[in-house]
Amino acid sequence: MKRFVYLLLLLPLGLGAQNMYNVTPLLSDDLAGTARFMGMGGSMSALGGDVSVMGVNPAGTALYRSNDFAFTASLNFNTTKATYGDAVTDYDFTDLSLKNFGMVWANKIDDFGASNVSFVNFGINYRRKNHLSNDFDMWGYSDGFSQQYIIEDLYQNNPFDIKDLNYRMYENMRYNWLSLLGAEAFGQDEDGNFLVNRDGELAFPPTEMGYYSEERGGIDVVDVNVSANIGDVLYVGATLGMHNVDYSRYSYYYEADSYGEIYSLVNNYRVEGNGIDFKLGAIVRPFIYSSFRLGFAVHTPTYYYDLMDVTSASIMGPDGYIYDTRDYDLFGDDLRLEYKLRTPWRFNASMAYTFENCLAFNVEYEYADYSKSRFTNRADLSTAQNDELEFNMKAQQTVRVGAEYTYDGISLRAGYNWHSAPFKTSAYKFLDAAAVTETSTEYMNRFEKEVVTLGGGYRGDVFYFDVAYMLQSQKADFYPYYDTQYENPAAKVEFLNHSIAATVGMRF
């Protein structure tokens, strides 16, 4: 039934190379910002008073009464464990990233009429919205499954004359590029069979397979913020976010038997582009003699207006010869596809309380329905992809809790995040379409994510220094391909990411 539904959804797909697994990194946010913000688990939406909070609740900067400048860097240690059958693969990746660079200008208003506006503040902040650099490795015994069946199935749905592959056949966009590459590498036997013999068995049956990928880059955001303090009772703010995407992925898949490697498939993917969003927020003190606060924020969809996918693929067959889509007699260049994407609305509600000016506590809830994301390029190229998003993704709920204890300029902090899974349990990557340029078969369904943070810092008369430690854990199912007939098993993946962040700042 699932196979039939997807055929109905994707048969009109045509040229489109973008899919929900490629754009998923554009939808979510990492926990990133100042070390104080990270140390409290990013839970400061009603508490306010930090440069980073303008990206969540724009009203949070209205609590400033002096100028603030902050610079934050982070050292990241990522560990990935993949288990496929009895085979276990561990891989470590370490890098350094810039998490935050920004400032807030506090402007006291001496005479603003009868409005009771006491401060109008301005802020600008750079942040790494989503840090995507990581390496991943897995392998296992094939147990009768093979990517070759997927290639052969694509060919059967739109066959062509393998014995007479036309010169620059990739240019006409009529045939699936993965089946074309398979035909280049394997050809056909003397009876005209492609990959399988007359009994349906593979001509080159593998005993094991493996996959490796390198991801680099991420999504950067510059937030421009304005906020106002109205009588120390109501705080309001607005933030304009300018997003820049620069992300690449190299992947290598192989199948082998007892004699060595049968074939390998390499995919190169890069996405670049820009987007824009707008946020409105408010913080209110319902009881004038209490520090209790309620916070509310709404984020418009991020509109990525000029995304471009740049892709290429190559295959090395049993004869050791490499066929690359960039070869002149194939396609002759990278495939470039321009498109637009709109992420879902995001809603945030929070509350905070400060006990005797030394212990601050904040809790918040955030909601974003990823199934409402939409490709907004030409209707004939985006309808199927939008159906795929609607069919496979779901609303993500996020809970953040943070606390800070301060005494004599020294602060201790702790935080916790919980994020629900963005994918439905039935989600998978379906390639069985009439003519697509997608040649990577792998995909990963991530489950719920948990983040635990600790932090501390010292604040002097002008300068301050904060540190934070973050432990992020998440599990996922990884499929190097999906066999729609027999449903091959997934590799069970565990992500464990450690980050140490440090902020140097000054208030004046």
Coil, strand or helix at 50: coil
Task: Give CA–CA dist 291/352, Å, rounded.
Answer: 8
Where do the structural domains in the chain lie, given as residue ranges? Answer: 2-507
Task: Give CA–CA dist 486/123, Å, rounded.
Answer: 55
pLDDT of residue 435: 44
pLDDT of residue 391: 85
Q: In this structure, are strands 335-342 and 374-375 parallel, antiparallel, or unpaired?
A: antiparallel
pLDDT of residue 7: 42
pLDDT of residue 111: 63
Residue position matching structure tokens 């300018």: 242
Task: Give CA–CA dist 322/16, Å, rounded.
Answer: 25
No. of helices (H) and no. of strands (E), the chain: 6, 19
pLDDT of residue 272: 95
Q: In CATH, what number does 2-507 get? A: 2.40.160.60
Contact 480, 209 (CB under 8 A): yes
What sign does the dihedral 251-256-261-263 (CA atoms) show? Answer: negative
Bridge partner residues of 417 (DSSP): 400, 451
Task: Give CA–CA dist 358/39, Å, rounded.
Answer: 16
pLDDT beneath 70: ranges in the chain = 1-18, 111-115, 378-382, 432-435
